Structure 1
């Protein structure tokens, strides 16, 4: 039984988890099929297909630039509900769109709504978690997005193969509406901005966009975002090229299984033993997963790569967020959260564009090998940015 300020589970925490799940579903449902959809529907090139997939993330990047500063000035609840309303309305426009340029614009606007909603939820949920249980609490909160990672791509493949893209887009809209309905009942902890913050509410400086305390670990996630984008945007195309479509439909389920295992273990380990004990192993597993995916001769090996990827990236994401918000002052938690996910979104948003140009030169095997190298570079960057410091072995 939890008591006092150590209590983690509450009605608001559970409702935030449920809202975040449906927000994530709307992200992942079209993401893993969008590149292939752009090719089949509009005869798009690899680079334009990558742009159609990553335009959503580009929109999220735009939102992250402003969300951290506006979070407390506008109000967390107001920002969340406005974002979720746009999230629901824009989803209606996928199916009738008959032009690739219009589709990309829709993806950007949809991404702006996602980036705003996700930033509000991620920054606000920190206030619902006891400080000494941040690693554990953020890990549990992140499981909601993990379930979206598993169910979204799997449902997308099933819906497209059985009924077509129109059903996929209809289901995506339904998930956005459910997120909005849940958000109506979610009461987030608000923070009253200082007089100085109010006086400078329209001023935009670099420090209003990028938190200097959170930036080093956020740059590690920039590289992580580039690496994971090669899986999110091109796994289905890779599977079609290798005749591994059936395995690809199960890939994100086993990936999510790896993430669940990682999240149940990594958060508590980080709270107890410190950051390095979890960051170095998760980065190593992340790199190993990419190597296995790139070398996969059959579906079994491909799914093994998914498990390794889930254990690695799945544990890295919340652990890095805990570092970012723990290093920043309390009044800059919103900006620190936005900085962290801004860098992640930059990597995962622009990654597919660059990788789409790279694939004709390297092939999918070479691309995944290069991405494993990117993760190794991220490990070195983490060491110099944070890992070499002797941080307290536990938060308690």
Structure 2
């Protein structure tokens, strides 16, 4: 009885420590990411294309590293990869201060992307290992609060420190957040033992192909969702200027509040009723948010849009991640988490490019209506997949009864 109770516990010390470590890791990312465009332009007199390149090489190196890390975990212990990744992220954060040219800064960002990609694959995989299977949606929902908090607080801290103290102090602060992870992990001994090699499936290649196929739909849905977020990250400030809203940054604050409120609720709904009960109403919420935003001219409308977007985005993301994790066995968790974060990064990059092209040909209001159209596509794709799955299930049942 006691072992069953302990095996169903979510709020364990390893879960809390790994969630805190993720918060610190992503805080480093968000603080510097928000300030980098201004720093690159002022320090190197760079144009917009160069700024985009520096951001793109970071995203590209992170995506490639995550894919390789999922394979590397088969032969190298996870804690070794994690500490190596954290060390690289820490080293290249502090070294970015010494970059004397755009070329050197590109190297620093690639190095940071490699370290960040390794650490941001391993920690979620470890968390997935310690969350009870029946509480996966709830656990991922709470764990995801760490990245949500970092996304809301990090840019505010980064821009403020950059404005009042400069990039060097900001880089030192970013370095300190990662350095803090080392004693937290080492002293708490929160990293669970690696059991993946002991439980590897016999039919490795067939199991892997089947698992990859199961990830295609949630992965594609995550790309579509991230396209809308890419449009917000890249253009919300410019949109605010166009409609004369000085405090447009409050969008992210109210968005974060809604995300923090809804994530635990959506996780429990997923565990109890499945992903349809979460994804359909959440997608409608995101569509509504973007349509409201496209017509926004006042702060109340902006706040309403932010709350609706946070409720939808905060429900969809952990549900898709939990869906991916439940599609396989524990030895697949590294691959699933790698796919989840890579599709997020890919969607944000694609969204910035496509929606940026739309805005250049029209205006930001029309761009956000196009962004809402992507979420309509999300809904259509998901409903079609659900209907096809139901038809296939009924066909199998009828075929089984006839035989």
TM-score normalised per structure 2: 0.85
Matched residue SS, 2:96: coil
Between the aligned partners of 1:196 and 1:135, the Cα distance in structure 2 is 24
Instruction: Give 1:321's aligned residue.
Output: 321
Between the aligned partners of 1:127 and 1:177, the Cα distance in structure 2 is 24
Between the aligned partners of 2:374 and 2:22, the Cα distance in structure 1 is 29
Aligned counterparts, 1:107-146, within 5 A: 107-146=109-148
Structure scoring higher RCO (CA < 8 A, sep ≥ 6) equals 1
Which of the numbers 19, 22, 25 marks the counterpart of 1:20?
22
CA deviation after TM superposition for structure 1 residue 154, in Å: 1.7
When the two chains are superposed, the root-mean-square deviation of aligned CA atoms in Å is 3.2
Instruction: Give 2:296's aligned residue.
Output: 296
Matched residue SS, 1:94: helix
Aligned counterparts, 1:308-347, within 5 A: 308-347=308-347
Give per-residue Cα distances to partners, 1:66-124, cap 9 Å, x unaligned: 12122242111111111011111111133343433433443233222222211111112
Between the aligned partners of 1:326 and 1:225, the Cα distance in structure 2 is 21
Aligned counterparts, 1:1-396, within 5 A: 3-185=5-187, 186-193=190-197, 211-240=212-241, 242-248=243-249, 250-386=250-386, 389=389
Between the aligned partners of 1:240 and 1:228, the Cα distance in structure 2 is 19
Structure 1 unaligned blocks of 5 or more: none
Between the aligned partners of 1:295 and 1:305, the Cα distance in structure 2 is 10
CA deviation after TM superposition for structure 1 residue 240, in Å: 4.7
Q: Is the 8 A contact 1:79 1:117 kept in 2?
A: yes
Closer, same or farther: CA 303–328 of 1 in aligned 2, 3 Å:
same
Closer, same or farther: CA 4–188 of 1 in aligned 2, 3 Å:
closer
CA deviation after TM superposition for structure 1 residue 208, in Å: 8.2
Between the aligned partners of 1:358 and 1:121, the Cα distance in structure 2 is 37
Structure 2 unaligned blocks of 5 or more: 394-403
Between the aligned partners of 1:205 and 1:42, the Cα distance in structure 2 is 51
Matched residue SS, 1:193: coil
Q: Is the 8 A contact 1:53 1:352 kept in 2?
A: no
Structure showing greater radius of gyration is: 2
Closer, same or farther: CA 61–7 of 1 in aligned 2, 3 Å:
same
TM-score normalised per structure 1: 0.86
Between the aligned partners of 1:283 and 1:245, the Cα distance in structure 2 is 29
